[in-house]
Amino acid sequence: MTTRQSASLVLGGETEQSSRGLLRPKVPPDADDTAGARDPEPLTAMLSLHGLAASRGYAIGRAVVLGAAALEVSHYRVADDDIDAECQRLTHAITVAREEFARLADNLPADAPREIQGLLHVHAMLLADPMLAQEPLTLIRERHYNAEWALTAQGQLVGEQFAAMEDEYLRERATDVQQVIERVLQVLSGRSPLMLAGAGQASLDSEPLVVVAHDISPADMVKLRGARFAAFATDLGGATSHTAIVARSLGVPAVVALGHVRTLARDGDQLIIDGEAGVVLVNPSPKVLRDYRDRQTAYAAERADLARLKDTPAITLDGIRVGLQANIEWPDEAAAALAAGAEGIGLFRSEFLFMNRRDLPGEEEQYQAYAAVVKAMAGRPVTIRTLDIGADKALDDEATVATNPALGERAIRYCLARPELFATQLRAILRASAHGPVRILLPMVAHMHEVRASLHAIAAARESLEQNGVVLAPHVEVGAMVEIPAIAIAIEPFAESLDFLSIGTNDLIQYTLAIDRADPDVASLYDPLHPAVLRLIANTINVGARYGRSVSVCGEMAGDVSLTRLLLGLGLTQFSMHSQQLLDVKREILEAHTNALRTKVAAVLNRAEPIDPSSL
């Protein structure tokens, strides 16, 4: 997945930046047409919008603009005599919307992505939460707000709480709140839940549909499956937004975070969705259309060629064997990992089992989830990261908010402070080891005493299970995430005490450069190529090799094909990434000469300026 938010699309001539943040072609009045007399159209597009490339590929189709009820909400005071009726109106609308989510989840088409059902259940649970089901009623009773006003006011408060969170995934859950409120507002207005004003006309054309929206909810995704859509373009969204997740699972191009695409694109407009560069072209010229049809053909051929690499071992030109594993959040993603040729699960983010729910998963529920993945991988290793949550990511109605959540009580600190919670998860993981190779990964480790305490907890969990006659694997490897500079600098005792190490580059970069990657004011300073970051990675890999320990990278750097050669040059031989990225990285590995890359990287590693990976 490409994540460049200000991609530059060169289609001929210069571009100029307007005050509204839109790129419009700048073509000299007497510009030469290099294509010749047969092709007189200038290589330009009427309107070019730049956002975040959330799902790869190219699509060409007619725009279908989804309405957004939340954008036109009336605000008025309710008379004393009408308070009860207004409360009943809102309660009824919430019930209708919640039942619709549940009904859609239970009656999904056979070809619907599995992720959608879980997302629909999450939306139903949100509407059952008192923060959305009860607090708006208080606003109606105490402030005399009308139902729409009360709901949107409370929704904005809850959404802001999510948006302020440190964790990227939880920040994106602010979108869930917006989407369920949108659904309730549609019920209150009496409008169809899914406004497809132009779908009827567009579907009569030979061209497919491109869905344009402020945002797209999972429920909308289900209803859209009957239409002939080719891509998604949204104002909001991020790499972990539902639009991005579902689009990737469908293999449909998507560009999100466009800002104003819903207002700038009209029903029936012809659109090009460039899921490689994160660009949407509105009403492009015939020449641009021909160019993108050629790109579509080339991209389809490329994916077909890549698919042939699924069972090809990842071996460099000089014979170095590289391990390629997958990162997953949910058990059913193991199937996609296998389909992409993953050699195992390098990172199972177990915290996703704990999120968006009021009750914590017990030992049996966790065991079933972990065991399902282990069984699906059929003897391939599965690395399960223990609960990486805390501070701003409160569980079970906890309301603790740290002054700086990124530096607060999270991950292993959180678990060690709650020994029963930790023991429950460890028992579930150890039980799953009876079905295949399992490894336990400890997140956010900074001190050796955290390692010792964790190993003691694991031993205690094993003892309690064995005393009850539970069958376990005789040995389960234990490793640590290298995501705090302290452990990367003083890595030797950790390498000596643990079985393996996994470098979480997302947080390692953030902590090394003191950059909040969620803060747009400093996001441009988040640099994976900073010499300090690369030296920390290199030191971890080198020490791991000295102690005979496996070292992998499971952060975003592992799946960025532009950095594959750099990581090989640093000595990395274990990668873990989203399954959609695996074959692209494998192709790069097959064409690389590791020893030559190591020589090049070693020569520039100590420079003050970042390495240019394209020079390797």
pLDDT digits (tens, 9 = 90+) for 286-303: 999 999 999 999 999 988
Burial class (CB in 10 A: 0-12, 13-18, 19+), 612: exposed
Instruction: With cut-offs at 50, 70 and 90, classify the pLDDT of residue 52.
Output: confident
The pLDDT, as a whole number, for residue 392 is 41
Amino acid identity at 343: E
User: Is residue 281 domain-shared with residue 380, that is, in the same domain?
Assistant: no
User: Is residue 252 domain-shared with residue 340, that is, in the same domain?
Assistant: no
**Residue in the structure block whose two tokens are 């490409």:** 2
Share of the chain above pLDDT 90, in %: 48
CATH number of the domain encompassing residue 239: 3.50.30.10
The answer to whether residue 35 sits within a structural domain is: no
Burial class (CB in 10 A: 0-12, 13-18, 19+), 204: exposed
Of the residues 50, 121, 435, 554, only one is catalytic, namely 554
Domain-terminating residue out of 189, 224, 240: 189
Q: At what angle do helices 174-189 and 114-128 cross, to 10 degrees?
A: 70
User: Is residue 491 domain-shared with residue 451, that is, in the same domain?
Assistant: yes
The answer to whether residue 511 sits within a structural domain is: yes
Of the residues 123, 214, 242, 578, only one is catalytic, namely 242
Q: Which of 305, 199, 198, 250 is nearest to 59 (CA)?
A: 250
CB 593 within 8 A of CB 318: yes
Instruction: With cut-offs at 50, 70 and 90, classify the pLDDT of residue 598.
Output: very high
User: Is residue 392 domain-shared with residue 526, that is, in the same domain?
Assistant: yes
Burial class (CB in 10 A: 0-12, 13-18, 19+), 423: middle
Highest mean pLDDT among 13-17, 360-364, 378-382: 378-382
User: Is residue 178 domain-shared with residue 245, that is, in the same domain?
Assistant: no
Higher pLDDT, 171 or 413: 413
The answer to whether residue 183 sits within a structural domain is: yes
Domain-terminating residue out of 305, 321, 356: 305
What is the SS3 assignment for 529?
coil
The answer to whether residue 539 sits within a structural domain is: yes
Q: How far apart are CA 561 and CA 425, in angstroms?
A: 34
CB 613 within 8 A of CB 562: yes
Mean pLDDT of the chain: 82
The pLDDT, as a whole number, for residue 54 is 83
The pLDDT, as a whole number, for residue 58 is 95
User: Is residue 436 domain-shared with residue 480, that is, in the same domain?
Assistant: yes
The answer to whether residue 428 sits within a structural domain is: yes
CATH number of the domain encompassing residue 521: 3.20.20.60
The pLDDT, as a whole number, for residue 358 is 66
Q: At what angle do helices 147-163 and 174-189 cross, to 10 degrees?
A: 170
Instruction: With cut-offs at 50, 70 and 90, classify the pLDDT of residue 350.
Output: very high
E-state strands within 18-176? 23-26, 45-50, 52-55, 58-65
Q: Which of 500, 459, 458 is nearest to 479 (CA)?
A: 500
Q: What is the 3-state secondary structure (H, E, C) of 49-70?
A: EECEEEECCEEEEEEEEECCHH
User: Is residue 361 domain-shared with residue 449, that is, in the same domain?
Assistant: yes
DSSP lists the bridge partners of residue 348 as 328, 384
Q: State yes or no: pLDDT of 25 exceeds 50.
A: no
User: Is residue 505 domain-shared with residue 534, that is, in the same domain?
Assistant: yes
Tokens (6 digits) for 96:
């209708």
Q: Which domain holds residue 280?
A: 14-29+42-66+194-305
CA dihedral 485, 490, 493, 495 (to 10 degrees): 60
CATH number of the domain encompassing residue 88: 1.10.274.10
**pLDDT tens string 555-574:** 889 988 999 999 999 999 99
User: Is residue 22 domain-shared with residue 143, that is, in the same domain?
Assistant: no
Q: How far apart are CA 5 and CA 461, in angstroms?
A: 45
Mean pLDDT, to the nearest integer, of 230-238? 86
The pLDDT, as a whole number, for residue 241 is 64
Number of domains in the chain: 3
User: Is residue 142 domain-shared with residue 238, that is, in the same domain?
Assistant: no
Q: State yes or no: pLDDT of 327 exceeds 80.
A: yes
Q: State yes or no: pLDDT of 317 exceeds 50.
A: yes
Domain-terminating residue out of 282, 305, 328: 305
Which CA distances in Å does 139 have to 145, 150, 387? Answer: 6, 6, 36
**pLDDT tens string 96-135:** 988 888 888 777 766 566 667 777 888 888 888 888 889 9
User: Is residue 175 domain-shared with residue 266, that is, in the same domain?
Assistant: no
Share of the chain above pLDDT 70, in %: 78
User: Is residue 241 domain-shared with residue 352, that is, in the same domain?
Assistant: no
Catalytic site residue 554?
A: yes
Instruction: With cut-offs at 50, 70 and 90, classify the pLDDT of residue 551.
Output: very high
Instruction: With cut-offs at 50, 70 and 90, classify the pLDDT of residue 512.
Output: very high
Instruction: With cut-offs at 50, 70 and 90, classify the pLDDT of residue 204.
Output: very low
